[in-house]
Structure 1
Amino acid sequence: MIKRNRTRIYALGQHIPMSAHKARRVIDQIRGRSYEETLMILELMPYRASYSIFKLVYSAAANASDNMGSDETNLIICRAEVNEGTSVKKLKPRARGRSYPIKRPTCHISIVVEDISLYEGEYLIDPYIHKDYLASLKKPSYLLKIKKPRWKKRYTDMIDENVYSSGGLWDKK
């Protein structure tokens, strides 16, 4: 039996010249998705951060196929995080010989991919089971199918109310 103890491969981008807040906006959309779906999402997003993240995801997949020999169709983004880096500080000349400080923020982005072909079968788990039991399964949380609560309604009536005609929001005077 061959035991693979290293199933996660990562790519790390440091000192990327953008704020961490703008990069997190894109990272939150791709976390937990498959590799192919992630590339499609990043190509269609209009943000400047998506190009840097696209390169990192592509690099992480290349690392996984080179180091583990895994197929790119089986890869999933299991962890993606953005941390703040150092700020590049500059001085801009202003009137009367004064200077004005400019801070250019940077960020560190790490993308971790995992090969899901190493796990056979999926568990069907109630979402209200104790957390220690879930940790003892040694499986990533995105592979667990979670049951929906029984009390959740399947059909909900949509309330069609016009706020303006019922006088709810504005008083026209």
Structure 2
Amino acid sequence: MNKTDNILEVKASAKYLRSSPLKVRRVLDQIRGKSYKEAMMMLEFMPYRCCQPIFKLLKSAASNAEHNNGLEKKDLSLVTKAYANEGPVMKRFRPRAQGRAFKIYKPTCHISIYVGTQQ
């Protein structure tokens, strides 16, 4: 729980999500600054694979606000912060012709979402 500029913020985070942080950021940029209901509706109809974990995370942030701080979901006025940081990268090798091997990088990311309400 953070109090800045009369805005009460509640956080939820997901770690080691098997998706590229660049792909997650393009979705988070769309919902940042929107109201909770509007963000949920946008995530439900976006065609990206990472929308489902972000949808769950936003629901979790709202539940945290409701359970830990006694706020109502309908009172959550906006998604104040949403960002994705890089996690560890899994490195794999793909066998190729004539005994060669090509590297494959499987990135992970850590997502944090803050929902807030005016005090």
Letter of the 2:61 partner, please give it.
Answer: A
Unmatched 5+ residue regions in structure 1?
119-173
Q: Where does residue 153 of structure 1 map in the other structure?
A: none
Structure 2 distance, partners of 1:29, 1:99, is: 38
| Residue 38 (str. 1) matches residue 4 (str. 2) | no
Residue aligning to 1:24: 25
Give the match for residue 164 of structure 1.
none
Tell whether 2:83 aligns with 1:78: no
| SS of residue matched to 2:93 | strand
RMSD: 1.5
Write the letter of the residue equivalent to 2:67: D
The residue type equivalent to 1:106 in the other structure is T
Measure, in 2, the Cα distance between the counterparts of 1:8 and 1:89: 36
Percent identity over the alignment?
46
Q: 1:145-156 to 2 correspondence within 5 Å?
A: none
CA deviation after TM superposition for structure 1 residue 98, in Å: 2.1
More strand by percentage:
2
Structure having the higher Rg: 1
Structure 1 segment 132-143 matched on structure 2, within 5 A: none
1:92 corresponds, among 88, 91, 94, to 94
TM-score by length of 2: 0.89
- The 8 Å contact of residues 92 and 105 in structure 2, kept in 1 or not, is answered as yes
Distance 2:35 2:90 in 1: 35
